[in-house]
Chain A
Amino acid sequence: MEQAEIKVSPAKRSERRNRLARREALNGYAFFSPWLFGFLVFTAGPVLYSLYLSFTSYDTLSSPKWIGIMNYKVLLTQDATFWKSLYNTLYYVVFSVPLGLIIGVLLAMLMNQKVPGIRFFRTVFYLPSVVSGVAVALLWMWLLDPSFGLINTTLAKFGIQGPGWLTDVDWSKPSLILMSLWGVGGSMIIYLAGLQGIPRDLYEASRVDGAGAVRQFWRITLPLLTPTIFYNLIMGLLGGFQVFLQSFVMTNGGPVDSTLFYALYLYNKAFKSSQMGYASAMAWILLVLTLICTLIVLRTSKKWVYYEGAENK
Chain B
Amino acid sequence: MNLRASFLFHRLFVYLLLVCGGVVFMIPFVWMLSTSLKGSAGLFDIPPKWIPEPVQWRNYVDAVLAFPFWNYTVNTLIITAANMAGTMISSSLVAYAFARLRWPGRGAWFVVMLATMMLPGQVTMIPMFILFKHLGWLNTFLPLTVPSFFGSAIYIFFLRQFFMTIPREFTEAAKIDGAPEFMIYWRIFLPLSGATMATIAIFTFMGTWNDFMGPLIYLNDPDKFTLALGLRSFQQAFGTRWNVMMACSIIVMLPSLILFFTCQRYFIEGITLTGIKG
Least distance between A22 CB and chain B CB atoms (Å): 10
- Known: A115-B14, A132-B210, A150-B31. Contact between A34 and B149, CB under 8 A? yes
A91 at the interface (CB under 8 A from B): no
CB closest residue in chain A, given B228: A134
A50 and B210 contact, CB distance less than 8 A: no
For chain A, the bracket of interface size reads 35 or more
Please give, as numbers and ranges, the residues of chain B lying within 8 Å of A221 by CB-CB distance: none
A128 and B25 contact, CB distance less than 8 A: yes
A24 at the interface (CB under 8 A from B): yes
Least distance between A49 CB and chain B CB atoms (Å): 4
Least distance between A167 CB and chain B CB atoms (Å): 13
A46 and B31 contact, CB distance less than 8 A: no
B25 and A32 contact, CB distance less than 8 A: no
* 0/1 interface trace, chain B 237-271, chain A, CB 8 Å (1 if under): 00000100110111011001100100010011001
A304 at the interface (CB under 8 A from B): no
* 0/1 interface trace, chain A 174-197, chain B, CB 8 Å (1 if under): 000000001001100110111001
- Known: A107-B21, A133-B210. Contact between A139 and B232, CB under 8 A? no
In whole angstroms, what is the CA distance A238 to B256 when docked? Answer: 24
B122 and A46 contact, CB distance less than 8 A: no
A31 and B96 contact, CB distance less than 8 A: yes
A217 at the interface (CB under 8 A from B): no
- Known: A34-B90, A110-B14, A193-B275. Contact between A241 and B101, CB under 8 A? no
* 0/1 interface trace, chain A 212-246, chain B, CB 8 Å (1 if under): 00000000000000001001100000100110110
B222 at the interface (CB under 8 A from A): no
A134 and B252 contact, CB distance less than 8 A: yes
Total contacting residues, chain B, CB less than 8 A: 89
B106 at the interface (CB under 8 A from A): yes
A46 and B128 contact, CB distance less than 8 A: yes
B246 and A139 contact, CB distance less than 8 A: yes
In whole angstroms, what is the CA distance A42 to B214 when docked? Answer: 14
B126 at the interface (CB under 8 A from A): yes
A-contacting 9-mer, from B40-48, B53-61, B193-201:
B40-48
- Known: A29-B103, A35-B90. Contact between A50 and B126, CB under 8 A? yes
Partner of B126 from the list A39, A194, A276, A294 (CB cut-off 8 Å) is: A276
Partner of B130 from the list A60, A140, A143 (CB cut-off 8 Å) is: A60
A42 and B124 contact, CB distance less than 8 A: yes
A130 and B260 contact, CB distance less than 8 A: yes
Least distance between A143 CB and chain B CB atoms (Å): 6
In whole angstroms, what is the CA distance A16 to B272 when docked? Answer: 43
- Known: A110-B17, A290-B118. Contact between A139 and B249, CB under 8 A? yes
- Known: A32-B109, A125-B22. Contact between A189 and B272, CB under 8 A? yes
B123 at the interface (CB under 8 A from A): yes
B29 and A127 contact, CB distance less than 8 A: yes
Considering only residues 189-208 of chain B, those with a C-beta below 8 Å from chain A are 206
Please give, as numbers and ranges, the residues of chain A lying within 8 Å of B275 by CB-CB distance: 189-190, 193, 228, 231-232
B276 at the interface (CB under 8 A from A): yes
* 0/1 interface trace, chain A 8-43, chain B, CB 8 Å (1 if under): 000000000000010011111111101111110111
B136 at the interface (CB under 8 A from A): no
Q: Which DSSP category, helix, strand, loop or mixed, fits chain A's interface?
A: helix
- Known: A130-B256, A135-B253, A244-B213. Contact between A125 and B124, CB under 8 A? no
B150 and A28 contact, CB distance less than 8 A: no
A166 at the interface (CB under 8 A from B): no
A249 at the interface (CB under 8 A from B): yes
Partner of A142 from the list B104, B118, B147, B242 (CB cut-off 8 Å) is: B242
A161 at the interface (CB under 8 A from B): no
B-contacting 9-mer, from A66-74, A77-85, A202-210, A278-286:
A278-286
A47 at the interface (CB under 8 A from B): yes
A287 at the interface (CB under 8 A from B): yes
Least distance between B78 CB and chain A CB atoms (Å): 18
A271 at the interface (CB under 8 A from B): yes
A93 at the interface (CB under 8 A from B): no
A-B contact pairs, 23 of them (CB 8 A): A29-B97, A29-B103, A31-B96, A32-B94, A35-B94, A43-B116, A46-B126, A53-B126, A121-B18, A125-B25, A128-B28, A130-B257, A134-B231, A134-B252, A135-B253, A145-B242, A153-B47, A238-B120, A242-B120, A270-B125, A270-B126, A271-B129, A287-B120
If A189-B275, A193-B272 are given as contacts, then 17 extra A-B residue pairs at C-beta distance below 8 Å, sorted by A number, are A21-B102, A25-B102, A32-B94, A37-B150, A38-B90, A39-B150, A41-B150, A46-B123, A47-B119, A47-B124, A115-B15, A118-B18, A140-B28, A142-B35, A150-B28, A283-B126, A290-B120
A→B interface (CB under 8 Å): 1, 21, 24-32, 34-39, 41-43, 45-47, 49-50, 53, 60, 107, 110, 113, 115, 118, 121, 123-128, 130-136, 138-140, 142-143, 145, 147-148, 150, 153, 156-157, 182, 185-186, 189-190, 192-194, 197, 228, 231-232, 238, 241-242, 244-245, 248-249, 263, 266, 270-271, 276, 279-280, 282-284, 286-287, 290-291, 294
